Structure formats: structure tokens, C-alpha cells
Chains A and B, each alone.
Chain A
């Protein structure tokens, strides 16, 4: 089954979710908790994340959309980005790179 990555805040996290990337918490400059990519969250690991003041995580979820639906949503998002940047001067290097990074972000 295909998977779909997304960032969530800790309050949205639930036991059973899978981490898409390693998750580390740092306090006073000291690394004090690391969970690997692929870790399946448990009540215990969630409690540890709250205790160590984690804020975000990058998870993967089962992709429940049909491929046609994925293509439609991707096209809508790209269209929206074009609308937002319609009045921008994309020959300006700073603007062009922001535009590119936003498109890349939405394509992930």
C-alpha cells in the first residue's frame, strides 16, 4: 500500500502512527530522546515525547486516495501556487528560489 507523509503537532499524534523520519528532542543543548524512522508510536513513547517537550513529528499514513484523486489534488495545489505567485517577478533570484521550494514542498 502507498503511504502519504505529513507533519503533525504532538497533540495530533496517536499510538499506532509511524514516524517518517527520526525524531529527536534537545533540551539545554543536550540530545535526550531519539526515535528512529519507522518507529510505531505507542502510549509509552507518546508519554516520553510529551515529557521531553517534543512539538512536531513527520509521520507516514496509509494513502487512501485513488491515483486519479491524487493527480487532481496535485494539479489543484500547483494551480493555487501559480495564483499566489501570479504577480511575482520570477526573474528575481530570491523570488524564483522561494517559488521553487514551495512547489517542491507541495509535491512531497
Chain B
């Protein structure tokens, strides 16, 4: 395969203008959910601005209320959020943001497993950040970086659908990673394209940097978010989350593991058993929100 389909940053940004921006309100909701000092009024004011999320919150609260407490119909967001908890708000926001973004912007059909994988990596990366006691800000960034880590694939699905289909087939035929096949076909891979897009959207540089290096963190592991996102995606695949039968683990960066202090050993580690349990529970719960 030659570079007949070569892609440059200018082209990515130019075509990106046809996509909606990552909705700012989603960042605000996620920030308020993760901030233990944020009050309920602030969270409600953000959720009220997104009718899809507001409707999902009320629907889930009414299901939970009728199942566990025999409550009558819940009509207000304050009661609903108190009832279902902030963890559910966060998961619903993730699912709504990514599926809503796709519905608004894409003319091609993206397999649902793609979105499930994005959400699973998002929750996995954030739980990993919590496990190793990262600051709250890094935990939030981990959530967003996980959600958007494959946004470059979305661009390729949207603007190079036929060439990208060939690249997938080529990767499968040669049994190489998709990023290697992308590099061979386009001169650039989805991680770099994703970094260009998130830079264009004005997301923090740390998120673009992590997305750019999530497959091959190499010398960039000194940045904790790079290490987190790389290990978070590997762990998501190792746990077979995200609904794809094609989950595979072929590489994990020793440097990223060392940066995160992940010295696992061969003995059973209760803290990691617990981490895997929490990740699995959150990812399964989030996947139910797709239906």
C-alpha cells in the first residue's frame, strides 16, 4: 500500500469544521460530578441545559424509585440526582455525549462496539487514576481522554470511509495493529489525528498529548496522563470490556507501568482484584445505558 491517501493536519482541521465541537456542557457536567465541593444546584443547572441527559436522569430515577422504594413519579432533577447518585450521572453523560455527537455529525454508520469501547476505556482510565491516587484534575482529564482517545478513527470513518475500510482489511490480513496499517496508508495514525482534533477544539494540551501517544507512550511516560491512557486502554482490552469480540492485548509499556507504580507481581493482589471489579461493574453498567 502506498501513501496515495496521505493526510495532513491542515486537511484534518479543515474537514473537522464539518463536525460539531465536543460539547462544552459535557465537560462542565463531568467536572461538577467529579468535584466533591460542587453543590447540587450547579449540577442541576448544567443538566437542565441538555434535554437528552435530563430525560435519561429522570427515567433512570423513576425506574430505581419504583424498584427499591415504591416512590411515586419523580418529576424534578434534584430528587432524581439524589436518588440515583452522581456516579450514574457521570456514566449517562459519557454515553449521551458520545452517541449524541455521532448522531449529530456522522453520515456513516459507526458500529456500536466502537462507542462501547470508548466509554469502557474512559471509566477504566479514571478508575486507574483513582487507584493510584492521582489528583482530582487528572482523574477528570483521564475520563475525557479515555472518551476521546479514538476520535481520530471517527474522523477517518467520516472522511475517508472507503480507504479506511481497506486499511482495516489490510491490518487484519497482515496481522498488524490498526495504527501501523494507518501509518502505512495515510502517513499518520488515528492517535495523531485525534490529537490534532482535540487541539483544534481547544481541549487541554495534556489531553491531546495523551491521545497522541496512547498506543506508543515511549519516552512520553513522564506525563502521567499519557501513561494512564495507555494502560487504561490495555486494561480495557485485557478485561474484554467494550463488547468487541476482537479485544487483543499485544503490548504494554513497562515505562508507563513504572510511572504509575504498577508493580503487580505474580501473587494475587486484592487491590487490583478490587480495581478490576470496579472497572467491570462500571463498564457493564455504562453499556446497559446504550440500550
Contacts and interface: CB of A to CB of B under 8 A. Distances in A.
Partners in one complex: yes
A105 B252 contact: no
Contacts of B134: none
Contacts of A74: none
A105 B237 contact: no
B175 to A, nearest CB: 8
Contacts of B36: 27-28
Interface stretch (B17-25, B158-166, B192-200, B261-269): B261-269
A93 B247 contact: no
A102 B239 contact: yes
Contact of B68 (A8, A14, A51, A92): A14
Q: Which of B237, B247, B282, B285 has the most CB of A within 10 A?
A: B285
A84 B264 contact: no
B74 interface: no
B27 interface: no
Contacts of A87: 175, 248-250
Contacts of B169: none
Given A9-B285, A100-B264, A101-B269, A84 B240 contact: yes
Contacts of A12: 281, 285
A70 to B, nearest CB: 18
Interface residues of B, number: 46
A12 B60 CA distance: 11
B274 interface: yes
Contacts of A105: 239, 272-273, 276-277
A56 B269 contact: no
B86 interface: yes
B234 to A, nearest CB: 7
B7 interface: no
A99 B265 CA distance: 10
B88 interface: yes
Contact of A11 (B64, B250, B272): B64
Interface stretch (B77-85, B100-108, B180-188): B77-85
B180 to A, nearest CB: 13
Contacts of A102: 238-239, 276
Nearest to A95: B252
Contacts of A55: 85, 87, 278, 282
B87 A58 contact: no
Nearest to A50: B85
Contact of B266 (A46, A58, A84, A100): A100
A53 interface: yes
Interface string A43-78: 100110011011110100000000000000000000
Interface in B222-265: 234-235, 237-240, 247-254, 257, 262, 264-265
Given A98-B252, A104-B273, A11 B240 contact: no
A54 B252 CA distance: 32
A37 interface: no
Interface of B: 36-37, 60, 64, 67-69, 82-88, 175, 234-235, 237-240, 247-254, 257, 262, 264-266, 268-269, 272-274, 276-278, 280-282, 285
14 contacts: A6-B281, A10-B85, A11-B84, A14-B67, A28-B36, A46-B68, A84-B240, A88-B249, A92-B252, A95-B251, A97-B266, A101-B273, A101-B276, A105-B273
Q: For the complex of A and B, list the 6 residue pairs with the smallest distance between their C-beta atoms, beginning with the closest.
A: A7-B277, A97-B264, A55-B87, A7-B281, A87-B250, A105-B276
